[in-house]
Structure 1
């Protein structure tokens, strides 16, 4: 499937709606809720069986996805602020909470669920320059160099990745309740 050409037009997400998708352990889409399908613009048949990176926007640094995959493949949840790409080339920003899914008999990871909602404007404004810097570093020094920068940036701020993202998205109150409710509903 050919990737769309990014446009400089944002899809404004409904703050009262949520996006849910599920993948297998290799990142192949196994489920997408109705709003996910509506926003990305692919039909359900076009999405199921495709790698989740079909919606990866080129403005997203590779190191962010490496951090995410390392965490969820080790059985840990992670939240991230992500810019995604729709089929028509438009983009949208989300806060994503990834969670591994386990086989109840073997306790091995069998898939992943991503719960998403519209990213707060101030979180996007704060993360976008960092992502641009990471992309510039990746272009000249590769993902290892961008990873080093990210670690140093977080060390300088004296926060973990999780604490940094939580502070940007204000992970408390209604935001926290939202993600907890989605996990109960789709978990």
Structure 2
């Protein structure tokens, strides 16, 4: 059963600009399977490092990214339930693998198979997060995309954001329960 820990963060100005002024193009970008997108954030999710692959795929510059919330690349069609699960795991000191739909600065989109893990200081406290993202198998995207559309529709239909998130998480739990697997087992079953 997925448990949620509330996480609140205000979107930075760049995220507001991307989501306010950039129309979605419907164009999917990809990157070579040998490339890895890497980023690091502080505990609040503000980017402290992004590699060249990240910058190239997202069509952003280092000065636009460093200091911005990682949500700068969040696609509006990505269900909040997946991010709630991600933050819940990370804040509990656990790693997570997830399929994520991201958006570029020009409105294109790209899918990633993300591995996000907490970084710990000498005192054992979380000092940030490290993420490696690879190109996912197309079959995994084809399986996950309709589920994400369903979860997002549940969130959008709700009377308020909190109810939408709760209902979406309940549906995700139901999908996993019906499949007889945990979230991790489900994600790993899609990777080849």
Same fold at TM > 0.5: yes
Output the CA distance in 2 between the equivalents of 1:57 and 1:101: 25
Instruction: Say whether 1:28 aligns with 2:46.
Output: yes
Among 28, 32, 35, the alignment partner of 1:10 is 28
| Residue deviations 1:118-152 (CA, integer Å, cap 9, x gap) | 01100000000000100111112311000001111
TM-score scaled to structure 1, two decimals? 0.89
Could you list the per-position Cα deviations for residues 81-133 of structure 1 after superposition, in whole angstroms to 9, with x for gaps in the alignment?
A: 011001111111110000100001x1000100010000110000000000010
Q: How much is the aligned-residue C-alpha RMSD, in angstroms?
A: 0.7
Cα distance between partner residues in 2 of 1:162 and 1:53: 23
1:123 aligns with 2:140: yes
**Distance in 1 (alpha carbons) for counterparts of 2:149 and 2:184:** 20
What residue in structure 2 maps to residue 108 of structure 1?
Answer: 125
Q: Which one of the candidate residues 40, 57, 77 is aligned to 1:59?
A: 77
TM-score w.r.t. the length of structure 2 is: 0.86
Residues 1:151 and 2:169 aligned together: no
Question: SS where residue 31 of structure 1 aligns?
Answer: strand
Q: Which among 77, 92, 117 is matched to residue 110 of structure 2?
A: 92
Structure 1 residue 5, shift from structure 2 partner: 2.3
Q: 1:177 matched to which residue of 2?
A: none
- Correspondence for 1:79 among 97, 115, 121: 97
Q: In the alignment, which residue of structure 2 is the partner of 1:68? A: 86
Count of residues paired in the alignment: 169
Show structure 1 runs of 5+ residues with no match: 171-187
In structure 1, C-alpha distance between the alignment counterparts of 2:111 and 2:174, rounded to whole Å: 25
Q: Does the 8 Å CA contact 1:6/1:57 hold for their aligned counterparts?
A: no
> 1:84 and 1:16 mapped to 2: Cα distance?
19
